[in-house]
Amino acid sequence: MYPPIKPYESGFFQGANSEKHQLYYEVSGNKEGDPVVFLHGGPGGGTDPEDRQFFNPEKYKVRNRKSAELENNTTWDLVKDIEVLRQKLDVTKWHVFGGSWVCTHPDRVKSLVLRGILTLRRSELRFFYQDGTSHLFPEQWEEYLAPIPEAEQHDMIRQYHSRLHSPDENIRLAAAKAWVKWEMATSRLIVSADAVAQAEKDDFANTSARIENHYFVNEGFMRDGQLLEKQEIDKIRHIPTIVVQGRYDVICTATTAWALKRTWPEITLHIIPDAGHSSREPGIEKKLVEAADIMASKGL
């Protein structure tokens, strides 16, 4: 990772489709550098100051963005919001760097660096939230099941949705913390106690859980498998792309990254043999920095 840096510009901008959306952004790195937009995962995962350290501060001008409102918050609204930010910052084209769940406008992209591929197919969501990862983390799975009565556990995403929108604040918060704890406890090959502790932060848990669940219960606001269809890939096939995937990622499994590679053989796919999902695992972190350096060196 590169040394820590601080943003030289930050603020909020109005979302494209709703007055309720005030999206936070920040700009760091070289003011004259090659623009890259950092898009956090989740959806709703948020950013961390360490995220700036993936990029060479002498070569890159880094933008971050995030939002927490559910109204008019769909995949297609996100693309429009990102376009608003691009125009606000007077960027013609930029590199896109993100993990897990990322969306953007292909006509404005120089390159893509992606980590832990999620396309929101029903099979992917079922593996993590219903029947799959549960077989590898049984003790954490029991804690995730706890807020939901046994008779209702046949559809965990939908049952969590009802509780995350309960009029009872205590029910909402308990559900949010259990939802986020499940993800934090399974995001690394070796469980991180510090990551799991993040789930106890009320604001973080509530925001992350509600936004993630909102997208998942609506299946990403797209047809099942849409992002892997040839006609969709053809729209971005020309974009230089590097994908970094943890072999033991049980949140966004390697089968999806491999399905992407089969549909889009032009991408460079790195499967890290000793990593799960988190960008903070050493092998993934190292390969992401290398990927950003490669894209900066291409002069795109």
Is 154 marked active-site? Answer: no
Catalytic-residue membership of 135: no
Which listed residue (67, 77, 95, 100) is catalytic? 100
Q: 232: Cβ–Cβ under 8 A, 6 or more apart, which residues?
A: 226
Q: Give yes or no: 21 in active site.
A: no
Catalytic residue among 111, 249, 278, 279: 249
Catalytic positions: 100, 249, 277
